[in-house]
Amino acid sequence: MPTALVTGASRGLGAVFADRLARRGIDLVLVARDRAGLERTAATVRGHGAVAEVLVADLADPAARAAVELRLSDADRPVDMLVNNAGFEVSDEFVNSELRDLQTQIDTNISAVMSLTHSALPGMIARGSGSVINVASFAGYLPSPGSSYASTKAWVLAFTDTMAASLAGSGVGMIALCPGRMLTGKHKAPDSPSPLWLEPTTVVEQCLRDLGRGRTLCTPGWIYRTVVGTLEMPRRSLRAAAKLAGRGRTQQRPKADAQGDTQSFTRSPSLNGVA
């Protein structure tokens, strides 16, 4: 059975990822701070006949995060898919927010994504298969005045863009999931149906489908997709021009193994076809 590690799996979108992956026969490692929430998700996963491992960790704390990094780099128990989903928003105005909370927002939304991906990728590259899903946000494209949350998600988008290009041909896929408003967490359902509000199960299914198609960006919901598609146009043209000029980022290949041998990447992504 392939194994996926999902962060922020105690509730919300992370719990939905765990559920939908378990239904596909994928075993799960579930990470978050709330043990009771993780156990609830684990019960759902086991109900689908998959194995669920619970790993309680505060991803904003580098010492606690180390246990998750170790799990991801354990060659005897390979993790085939990493879902960097855990995240939160300091919603107060930047100047009214505690610096400590803003730092925790960066540690959770950025540092954890970077360090967990750094732990997971060498094994995936050496095996020539695997995938990473980074949960960004539509806010990363169109920040609104007030909270600094959008800037952390803009980093997730830029990071995924760069890494996905670097991984081309390695057999390892990476995708940024860019949802708009979802009915999770503190959000309450609107009084009347609106295309701006996304249903988490639809979001996860769309993401797994796009990953399977080898896409590097998933924007569920036609309104969000139209806006992002328009904003992405100049970047797509620039990327195509860079490729034509032979100066694309895909020329830099990650190292394939601990010895530092550079691999000639020719494999097509596997396990990305989870859809």
Ligand X SMILES: NC(=O)c1ccc[n+]([C@@H]2O[C@H](COP(=O)([O-])OP(=O)(O)OC[C@H]3O[C@@H](n4cnc5c(N)ncnc54)[C@H](OP(=O)(O)O)[C@@H]3O)[C@@H](O)[C@H]2O)c1
Cβ at position 244, least distance to ligand X in Å: 34
Question: Within its chain, how far is the Cα of 236 from the centroid?
Answer: 21
Comparing CB distances to ligand X, the nearer of 16 and 125 is 16
3-class secondary structure per residue, 193-238: CCCCEECHHHHHHHHHHHHHCCCCEECCCHHHHHHHHHHHHHHHHH
Among 6, 30, 50, 59, binds ligand X (CB under 6 A): 59
Residue 94, both tokens: 């930047």
In the residue annotation, 141 being an active-site residue is answered as no
Q: Does 140 bind ligand X (CB under 6 A)?
A: no
In angstroms, the CA 238 to CA 245 distance is 10
Stretch that binds ligand X, among 52-60, 75-83, 157-165, 249-257 (CB under 6 A): 52-60
Can residue 228 be called a binding residue for ligand X (CB under 6 A)?
no
Listed ranges 79-87, 163-171, 205-213, 253-261: which one lies at the site for ligand X (CB under 6 A): 79-87
- Cβ atoms of 206 and 218 closer than 8 Å: yes
Least distance to ligand X, CB of residue 223, Å: 14
Query: Among candidates 45, 59, 58, 66, which has minimal Cα distance to 3?
Result: 45
Q: Which of 17, 141, 149, 224 is catalytic?
A: 149
Q: Rounded to an integer, what distance in angstroms lies between the CA atom of residue 88 and that of residue 93? A: 15
Note whether 87 binds ligand X by CB under 6 A: yes
Residue among 57 and 165 whose Cβ is closer to ligand X = 57
Residue 49, Ramachandran bin (φ over 0: left; ψ between -120 and 50: alpha; else beta) = left
Residue 52 binds ligand X, judged by CB under 6 A = no
By CB under 6 A, name the binding residues for ligand X: 7-8, 10-14, 32-34, 37, 58-60, 85-88, 108, 135, 137, 179, 181-182, 184-185, 187
Active site residues: 149
